């Protein structure tokens, strides 16, 4: 008997704010292309086929410089607590 995986709706995940475009494993940094704003201190969820992470955003970098906030269209790097993959979706809780 196969386990039926429970699907989460977008409402459960929060507001979609971006997508992972790259992961630097040696730094534990995920690169996110934002389609909404993101601030330090925000709680996010990263969800993909094999990814399911919830964490707070401790710092945001744009072009290797710390910034307190990023806006739609920015490409940012954030420290992530686990491996993320290209095309994983990022939600603001």
Confirm if 55 and 90 have CB atoms less than 8 A apart.
no
Would you list the domain boundaries of the chain?
A: 14-92
Q: For the chain, which residues score pLDDT lower than 70?
A: 1-11
CATH code given to domain 14-92: 2.40.30.10
Instruction: Supply the pLDDT for residue 22.
Output: 98
Instruction: Supply the pLDDT for residue 32.
Output: 98
- Using DSSP's 3-state secondary structure scheme, residue 9 falls into coil
Instruction: Supply the pLDDT for residue 8.
Output: 53
Closest among 54, 46, 57 to 85, alpha carbons compared: 46
Instruction: Supply the pLDDT for residue 11.
Output: 62
Instruction: Supply the pLDDT for residue 28.
Output: 97
Model pTM score: 0.88
Instruction: Supply the pLDDT for residue 5.
Output: 45
Torsion sign across C-alpha atoms 7, 88, 46, 82:
positive
């Amino acid at each position: 008997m196969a386990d039926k995986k429970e699907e989460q709706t977008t409402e459960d995940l929060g507001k979609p704010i971006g997508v992972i475009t790259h992961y630097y494993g040696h730094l534990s940094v995920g690169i996110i292309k934002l389609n909404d704003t993101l601030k330090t201190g925000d709680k996010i969820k990263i969800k993909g086929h094999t990814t399911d992470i919830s964490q707070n955003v401790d710092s945001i970098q744009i072009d290797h410089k710390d910034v307190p906030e990023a806006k739609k269209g920015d490409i940012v790097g954030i420290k992530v607590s686990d491996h993320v993959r290209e095309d994983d979706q990022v939600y603001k809780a």
